[in-house]
Chains A and B, each alone.
Chain A
Amino acid sequence: MDVSNILADHAEKIKPTEVETENPLDVDAGFLTVTDPNLIDVESYESSLETHLFSLARTGTQALLNSLFSLPTTSSPDGPLAQLPAPTTQLPRTKPLPKIKPLTKWEQFAKAKGIQGKSKEKREKKVWDEERQEWINRWGKDAKNKQVEEQWITEVPMNADIDFDPRKAARDERKARVTKNQKQHEANAARAQKTGSSASNPEREAHKKDLERTLAMSRTSTASMGKFDRKLEGEKKMKGIKRKVRFVFPSFYPEPKFNGYPRTV
């Protein structure tokens, strides 16, 4: 049985996907864009414009799709998704980069100690109530943090005062937590404002730099370049100041070269 005819038919039906151009096309897969750096052929441009543009576009698109279809893929409910690389073309942004939020005092502490708690976003608004077997608010209406003060009967400790009100005690405790948190929030906001303002005050920064330079000059203007001066308490060590190497007269005889073996006497 001769299958060469069938194979030839099949090969005829299937057209090639390779792209042959003089210079390789510049594909930016991240922006789904291809740029053809080849010179425009004057002859084909003038003979028939539309066919010329069509063939250019087809070649370019094929080159782009070749690179897109060879990207690694991940599966999704709709079908395979191609993972695009970061774009290589630099386009101007729409808005400036977002400002970095200064860390709160707790965040600073947690970072220094390496504590990884749940972030604010991850903390859920609802908590599970074992007794009622349902999700209830963490705060707000009928919330978990008001359960003690809102329940209709509360146990009172034996040694409590006569005028002890368990509902009021629970409420006061909660209110104290709220005010403490508010105070911390305000302090954090004030600190953020402070750090932001000092960096954005160029006059102050320039003055600070000038002062530092004057201090450095005065410290190094003694005979020992500050080495044997009396140090003040908490004085910082100077950076980037080196003693100049003393000039040594070259000796008449060249120094013996070290040949790697112990010298024999």
Chain B
Amino acid sequence: MLRTVKPKNARSKRAMEARQPKEVEDARIAIFVKGTKTGEVLNGVMKDMMALKRPDAISFSKKNVIHPLDAQNTASGSSSMSSLEFWSSKNDASMFVIGQTSKKRPNDLTFVRMFDGKVLDIVEAGVENYVSMESVPGSKSTPGHKPLMHFASELFDTHPRFIQLKSMLMSLFNGEAVESIYLKGLEHVISVSLAPTPATLNTTTESTTPLPKVHIRTYTTRLLASGSRIPRVELTPMGPSMDLVLRRHINPDPELLKQAMRRPKLKKTDVEKGLGKKRKNLDVDEMGDLRGRVHVGKQDLSRLQTRKMKGLKAGAFEDGGDDGAGDSGSDDDEASNKKRKLS
């Protein structure tokens, strides 16, 4: 744990303030850690993932003895956790990608997500069929551009392991909420799809059925004219591409997760704008303009002024006999009634 230090000058004060909790958070900074042994495959995987994550990526290029998925009562497990917490606080990082290969678990990639300087959850996966970014010819995405993400399989909505994986990958690549985006700057898409779901796969409990493979592919996008406002998209493989086999995992501690899922209260202006509630009677037309429908209420037609005719006047029959002089001169019925009352 770092000491709480009082900033000595304005610059360090600004730097410390930038690390304070914010209502709307920045992208997660990820640290790519090498374990005791990383093969050629994992080195490439981490390098390419960093290329996708840049500029919010930090590389730990030296070897580190780290086994976060070992049991917490063992020496290596608990020291790994404290190392992760230390690195997180030092670098203001909240994600780790750890690469480590061993005989038991070849090409092992571990994703660690943090909350408030503590480990929230861990997903471990083995890498297979890796194709590097370099080996695929063609243009690459610009660092710092937000990727599009595509997940394909119903398991991403139903199976707890894949819900966790989706959430983890979204946190890694796309977990930053932005207000607006330059549409021409959407250059690449990260596609994550699964092998067909085995019939015996049980979504509720841990079953012995092996989980389907995860296929991660990256493509660059080309937007073609389609005659309308919406372009037709064509994809070109960009690399890296790899298949993942899910291995061990740690679910988030429910209490910690509850804290992590707390949302800021919606501001009054946002509620007025229609956030938080369903926006009724609003849609965007083909020109991109916001169109609304307004209900104007029922029109009161009883007071509508139609053509004036002497015979249709309300007072014409009643007043005709006894007070002819006062009635015939006045245009207004009310005025004539008043006059009668007065006389």
A214 to chain B, nearest CB (A): 32
Kindly state whether residue A53 has any CB partner on chain B within 8 Å: yes
Determine whether the beta carbon of B235 is less than 8 Å from that of A57: yes
Determine whether the beta carbon of A34 is less than 8 Å from that of B226: no
* Interfacial residues of chain B within 217-239, with CB under 8 A of chain A in the complex: 217, 219, 221, 223-235, 237
Of A35-43, A107-115, A135-143, A220-228, the stretch lying at the interface with chain B is: A35-43
Interface residues on A, range: 35 or more
Of B7-15, B41-49, B150-158, B322-330, the stretch lying at the interface with chain A is: B150-158
Determine whether the beta carbon of B21 is less than 8 Å from that of A40: no
Known: A72-B289, A73-B288, A93-B262. 6 other contacts (CB 8 A): A14-B226, A32-B148, A35-B150, A40-B152, A66-B230, A70-B229
Q: Which residues of B contact A256 (CB under 8 A)?
A: none
Bound-state CA distance A76–B229 (Å) is 19
- Of B226, B237, B260, which one neighbours A92 at CB under 8 angstroms? B260
Bound-state CA distance A92–B170 (Å) is 11
In the complex formed, the residue of A with least CB distance to B262 is A97
Q: Which residues from chain A sit less than 8 Å from chain B, CB to CB?
A: 14-17, 26, 30-42, 45, 49, 53-54, 56-58, 60-62, 64-66, 68-74, 76, 78-84, 86-87, 89-99
Bound-state CA distance A84–B170 (Å) is 17
A-B contact count (CB 8 A): 209
19 contacts between A and B (CB under 8 A): A15-B226, A35-B156, A39-B154, A40-B153, A57-B189, A60-B150, A60-B191, A65-B230, A65-B231, A65-B233, A66-B230, A69-B229, A72-B289, A82-B182, A84-B179, A92-B113, A93-B115, A96-B259, A98-B20
Bound-state CA distance A16–B189 (Å) is 20
Bound-state CA distance A38–B215 (Å) is 16
- Of B23, B157, B180, which one neighbours A74 at CB under 8 angstroms? B180
* Interfacial residues of chain B within 232-260, with CB under 8 A of chain A in the complex: 232-235, 237, 252, 257, 259-260
Kindly state whether residue B38 has any CB partner on chain A within 8 Å: no
Determine whether the beta carbon of A81 is less than 8 Å from that of B21: no
Interface residues on B, range: 35 or more
Q: Which residues from chain B sit less than 8 Å from chain A, CB to CB?
A: 20-23, 25, 28, 94, 113-116, 120, 146-154, 156-157, 166-167, 170-171, 174-175, 177-184, 186, 189, 191, 193-197, 215, 217, 219, 221, 223-235, 237, 252, 257, 259-264, 275, 284, 288-290
